[in-house]
Amino acid sequence: MAVRIRPLQRADVAATSALHEEVLHMEFLARAGRGFLRRYHWAWMDTDDAVALAAVDDHEVVVGFLLGALRPAGHFRSMVRRHGPQLAGALLIAAIRRPSFGRELVTTRLVRYVRGLGRMAWATANGRRRRPPGGGPVPTATQRAVGEVTHVLVRPDLQGSGAGRALLDAAAAASRAAGVEELMLVTPPELSGAVGFYEHLGWEHAGRLTSRSGEDFLRFRLPL
Protein backbone atom coordinates (compact mmCIF):
# COMPACT_ATOMS: atom_id res chain seq x y z
CA MET A 1 0.00 0.00 0.00
CA ALA A 2 1.30 3.44 -0.95
CA VAL A 3 1.31 5.87 1.97
CA ARG A 4 1.57 9.63 1.70
CA ILE A 5 2.41 11.92 4.62
CA ARG A 6 0.79 15.34 4.80
CA PRO A 7 -0.08 17.90 7.48
CA LEU A 8 -2.99 16.95 9.68
CA GLN A 9 -6.17 18.87 8.84
CA ARG A 10 -9.24 19.72 10.87
CA ALA A 11 -11.33 17.42 8.67
CA ASP A 12 -9.13 14.52 9.82
CA VAL A 13 -9.98 14.72 13.52
CA ALA A 14 -12.98 12.39 13.31
CA ALA A 15 -10.70 9.66 11.96
CA THR A 16 -7.75 10.40 14.23
CA SER A 17 -9.89 10.54 17.39
CA ALA A 18 -11.46 7.18 16.55
CA LEU A 19 -8.02 5.67 15.95
CA HIS A 20 -6.68 7.23 19.16
CA GLU A 21 -9.52 5.78 21.23
CA GLU A 22 -9.15 2.35 19.63
CA VAL A 23 -5.38 1.91 19.86
CA LEU A 24 -4.61 3.82 23.07
CA HIS A 25 -7.67 2.75 25.05
CA MET A 26 -5.41 2.34 28.12
CA GLU A 27 -4.42 6.04 28.05
CA PHE A 28 -6.19 8.45 30.40
CA LEU A 29 -7.08 11.02 27.75
CA ALA A 30 -8.37 8.30 25.43
CA ARG A 31 -10.82 7.24 28.14
CA ALA A 32 -12.39 10.69 27.87
CA GLY A 33 -13.88 9.59 24.55
CA ARG A 34 -13.90 10.77 20.97
CA GLY A 35 -15.63 14.09 21.65
CA PHE A 36 -12.78 15.25 23.85
CA LEU A 37 -10.15 13.74 21.55
CA ARG A 38 -11.52 15.63 18.54
CA ARG A 39 -11.15 18.90 20.45
CA TYR A 40 -7.71 17.85 21.72
CA HIS A 41 -6.36 16.98 18.26
CA TRP A 42 -7.65 20.21 16.75
CA ALA A 43 -6.17 22.25 19.59
CA TRP A 44 -2.83 20.47 19.18
CA MET A 45 -2.47 21.25 15.48
CA ASP A 46 -3.73 24.84 15.93
CA THR A 47 -0.89 25.74 18.30
CA ASP A 48 2.60 27.22 17.97
CA ASP A 49 5.44 24.74 17.31
CA ALA A 50 3.10 21.81 16.64
CA VAL A 51 4.08 18.80 14.56
CA ALA A 52 0.83 17.22 13.36
CA LEU A 53 0.99 14.74 10.49
CA ALA A 54 -1.39 12.32 8.80
CA ALA A 55 -0.58 9.16 6.85
CA VAL A 56 -3.14 8.67 4.07
CA ASP A 57 -3.66 5.97 1.46
CA ASP A 58 -4.38 6.34 -2.26
CA HIS A 59 -7.98 7.30 -1.47
CA GLU A 60 -7.00 9.99 1.07
CA VAL A 61 -8.20 7.81 3.94
CA VAL A 62 -6.30 8.48 7.17
CA VAL A 63 -4.48 5.32 8.21
CA GLY A 64 -2.22 6.86 10.86
CA PHE A 65 -1.17 10.11 12.49
CA LEU A 66 1.57 11.69 14.57
CA LEU A 67 1.46 14.46 17.16
CA GLY A 68 4.57 16.18 18.43
CA ALA A 69 6.07 19.55 19.28
CA LEU A 70 9.23 21.33 18.19
CA ARG A 71 9.45 23.17 21.54
CA PRO A 72 7.29 21.23 24.01
CA ALA A 73 7.09 23.77 26.85
CA GLY A 74 6.15 26.65 24.54
CA HIS A 75 3.70 24.45 22.66
CA PHE A 76 1.93 23.43 25.86
CA ARG A 77 1.64 27.02 27.06
CA SER A 78 0.31 28.15 23.68
CA MET A 79 -2.19 25.28 23.59
CA VAL A 80 -3.58 26.15 27.01
CA ARG A 81 -3.64 29.85 26.21
CA ARG A 82 -5.55 29.41 22.94
CA HIS A 83 -7.73 26.42 23.71
CA GLY A 84 -7.68 25.95 27.48
CA PRO A 85 -11.34 26.86 28.18
CA GLN A 86 -12.62 24.72 25.30
CA LEU A 87 -10.50 21.74 26.40
CA ALA A 88 -11.62 22.15 30.01
CA GLY A 89 -15.26 22.27 28.87
CA ALA A 90 -14.83 19.15 26.74
CA LEU A 91 -13.17 17.37 29.67
CA LEU A 92 -16.07 18.34 31.96
CA ILE A 93 -18.62 17.02 29.46
CA ALA A 94 -16.67 13.76 29.22
CA ALA A 95 -16.64 13.48 33.02
CA ILE A 96 -20.42 13.96 33.16
CA ARG A 97 -21.13 11.49 30.37
CA ARG A 98 -18.67 8.90 31.71
CA PRO A 99 -19.01 8.74 35.51
CA SER A 100 -16.10 6.30 35.96
CA PHE A 101 -13.85 8.66 34.00
CA GLY A 102 -15.17 11.61 36.03
CA ARG A 103 -14.33 9.89 39.32
CA GLU A 104 -10.83 9.09 38.06
CA LEU A 105 -10.35 12.69 36.92
CA VAL A 106 -11.35 14.13 40.30
CA THR A 107 -9.46 11.66 42.49
CA THR A 108 -6.22 11.33 40.55
CA ARG A 109 -5.74 14.31 38.21
CA LEU A 110 -7.69 17.40 39.21
CA VAL A 111 -5.25 18.76 41.81
CA ARG A 112 -2.28 18.10 39.50
CA TYR A 113 -3.98 19.90 36.61
CA VAL A 114 -4.86 22.94 38.74
CA ARG A 115 -1.31 23.18 40.08
CA GLY A 116 0.13 22.84 36.59
CA LEU A 117 -2.08 25.60 35.23
CA GLY A 118 -1.10 27.82 38.14
CA ARG A 119 2.60 27.28 37.47
CA MET A 120 2.09 27.97 33.78
CA ALA A 121 0.20 31.22 34.52
CA TRP A 122 2.99 32.35 36.86
CA ALA A 123 5.70 31.51 34.31
CA THR A 124 3.84 33.35 31.56
CA ALA A 125 3.38 36.46 33.70
CA ASN A 126 7.01 36.35 34.85
CA GLY A 127 8.18 35.99 31.25
CA ARG A 128 6.22 39.06 30.21
CA ARG A 129 7.78 41.10 33.01
CA ARG A 130 11.26 40.03 31.91
CA ARG A 131 10.69 40.64 28.20
CA PRO A 132 13.06 43.35 26.96
CA PRO A 133 11.72 46.66 25.58
CA GLY A 134 10.64 46.39 21.97
CA GLY A 135 9.68 42.73 22.25
CA GLY A 136 11.76 39.78 21.15
CA PRO A 137 12.56 36.59 23.01
CA VAL A 138 13.68 36.56 26.64
CA PRO A 139 17.43 35.92 26.80
CA THR A 140 18.24 32.42 28.09
CA ALA A 141 21.31 30.28 28.52
CA THR A 142 22.27 28.13 25.56
CA GLN A 143 20.23 24.93 25.69
CA ARG A 144 20.04 21.85 23.50
CA ALA A 145 16.91 22.09 21.33
CA VAL A 146 14.85 18.97 22.10
CA GLY A 147 11.55 18.24 20.36
CA GLU A 148 8.94 15.69 21.34
CA VAL A 149 6.74 13.06 19.72
CA THR A 150 3.79 12.18 21.95
CA HIS A 151 1.62 10.02 19.67
CA VAL A 152 2.40 7.79 16.68
CA LEU A 153 -0.61 5.65 15.77
CA VAL A 154 -1.33 3.44 12.78
CA ARG A 155 -4.51 1.52 12.06
CA PRO A 156 -4.04 -1.97 13.59
CA ASP A 157 -4.69 -3.84 10.34
CA LEU A 158 -2.04 -1.74 8.57
CA GLN A 159 0.74 -1.88 11.13
CA GLY A 160 3.87 -3.06 9.34
CA SER A 161 2.87 -1.23 6.14
CA GLY A 162 5.55 1.43 6.57
CA ALA A 163 3.15 4.16 7.69
CA GLY A 164 4.70 4.46 11.16
CA ARG A 165 8.21 4.73 9.77
CA ALA A 166 7.08 7.35 7.23
CA LEU A 167 5.43 9.45 9.95
CA LEU A 168 8.54 9.37 12.13
CA ASP A 169 10.84 10.16 9.20
CA ALA A 170 8.68 13.16 8.29
CA ALA A 171 8.66 14.39 11.90
CA ALA A 172 12.45 14.07 12.09
CA ALA A 173 12.86 16.00 8.83
CA ALA A 174 10.57 18.81 10.03
CA SER A 175 12.44 18.95 13.34
CA ARG A 176 15.86 19.19 11.67
CA ALA A 177 14.59 22.00 9.45
CA ALA A 178 13.45 23.87 12.57
CA GLY A 179 16.83 23.51 14.27
CA VAL A 180 15.84 20.76 16.70
CA GLU A 181 18.86 18.69 17.72
CA GLU A 182 17.15 15.74 19.37
CA LEU A 183 13.69 14.16 19.48
CA MET A 184 12.15 12.48 22.50
CA LEU A 185 9.32 9.98 22.07
CA VAL A 186 7.02 8.42 24.65
CA THR A 187 4.89 5.30 24.40
CA PRO A 188 2.73 3.36 26.89
CA PRO A 189 4.51 0.24 28.19
CA GLU A 190 1.36 -1.77 27.38
CA LEU A 191 1.88 -1.45 23.62
CA SER A 192 3.50 -4.73 22.69
CA GLY A 193 6.13 -4.50 19.99
CA ALA A 194 6.70 -0.75 20.40
CA VAL A 195 10.16 -1.10 21.93
CA GLY A 196 11.47 -3.28 19.11
CA PHE A 197 9.88 -1.06 16.47
CA TYR A 198 11.47 2.15 17.72
CA GLU A 199 14.85 0.56 18.35
CA HIS A 200 14.81 -0.89 14.83
CA LEU A 201 14.39 2.66 13.50
CA GLY A 202 17.39 3.91 15.46
CA TRP A 203 15.67 5.31 18.56
CA GLU A 204 17.51 4.74 21.84
CA HIS A 205 15.66 3.61 24.96
CA ALA A 206 15.98 6.38 27.57
CA GLY A 207 14.12 5.11 30.63
CA ARG A 208 10.67 6.11 31.84
CA LEU A 209 8.82 9.32 32.61
CA THR A 210 5.56 10.45 34.14
CA SER A 211 3.32 12.56 31.89
CA ARG A 212 1.44 15.72 32.84
CA SER A 213 -1.63 13.53 33.37
CA GLY A 214 0.27 11.29 35.80
CA GLU A 215 0.81 8.24 33.59
CA ASP A 216 4.00 6.22 33.20
CA PHE A 217 5.53 6.01 29.72
CA LEU A 218 8.60 4.50 28.13
CA ARG A 219 10.89 7.13 26.67
CA PHE A 220 13.08 7.01 23.56
CA ARG A 221 15.51 9.52 22.07
CA LEU A 222 16.75 10.16 18.54
CA PRO A 223 19.76 12.47 18.03
CA LEU A 224 19.29 14.53 14.88
For residues 184 and 149, the answer to whether their CB atoms sit within 8 Å is: yes
Res 26: pLDDT: 86
The amino acid that residue 29 corresponds to is L
What distances in angstroms separate CA 160 from CA 49, 85, 166, one per listed residue? 29, 38, 11
Residue 131 pLDDT class (50, 70, 90 cuts): very low
118 phi/psi in degrees, rounded to 5: -65, -45
**CB neighbours of residue 183 within 10 Å:** 23
Residue 224: closest CA among 157, 168, 186, 142: 168
Does residue 141 surpass a pLDDT of 60?
no
% of the chain surpassing 90 pLDDT: 58
Fold adopted by 4-129+145-223: Aminopeptidase (3.40.630)
Q: Report domain extents, the chain.
A: 4-129+145-223
Res 107: pLDDT: 85
Residue 185: closest CA among 198, 176, 173: 198
Q: For the residues 33-37, what does the mean pLDDT come to?
A: 95
Q: For the residues 57-70, what does the mean pLDDT come to?
A: 95
pTM of the predicted model as reported, rounded to 2 decimal places? 0.85
